[in-house]
Structure 1
Amino acid sequence: MAKVDSKAGESKVREFAKGVKAQFRRIIWPSKDTIWKQLAAVLTVSVIAGLLIVLIDFGSQKLIDYLLSI
């Protein structure tokens, strides 16, 4: 069995961690105002999509009930 150099593995882990830390420093975080606007947009679209799904489901159920009663 080959002997693994633990210091080389440790060095790679540290190098990776330094790279991750450097990338986190480069992130441009959105402002609170931007986050609230995006949250409002997501909630609005979600509610509208949910209502459309309910209407389509209700309408299709009524149509199926009508067709089966003929």
Structure 2
Amino acid sequence: MEAEKKQKAPKKNWTKGLQAEFKKIVWPDKQTLVKQTVAVVSITAVLGVFIAVIDSGILQLLNLIIK
């Protein structure tokens, strides 16, 4: 029986700790969330285009070298 009690105690402590950490979370307001989302999507799109252009340029260069 003592072994069972020892196994259950860490779960309770873990869940209490988890609940305490969740109470510390500060969720952003809607305006901040929208601004950050737009920033992330915009930067991702710009970097995607940049990488595609670089990749295409390298491909063309390699095709010239191989031929």
Structure-2-length-normalised TM-score:
0.82
Q: Which amino acid letter does the alignment assign opposite residue 27 of structure 1?
A: I
Give unpaired runs (5+ residues) of structure 1. Answer: none
Structure 2: runs of 5+ lacking an equivalent: none
Pick the structure with more helix per residue. Answer: 2
Question: Size of the alignment, in residue pairs?
Answer: 67
Give the TM-score normalised by structure 1.
0.79
> How large is the RMSD of aligned CA atoms in angstroms?
1.7
Q: Percent of pairs identical after alignment? A: 30
Aligned-pair distance for 1:18?
A: 0.9
- Within the candidate set 14, 30, 37, 1:39 is matched to 37
Partners of 1:39 and 1:11 in 2: CA distance = 41
**Structure-2 separation of matches of 1:5 and 1:16:** 18
**Structure 1 outlier segments of 4+, above 4 Å:** none
Whichever of the two has the greater Rg, that structure is: 1
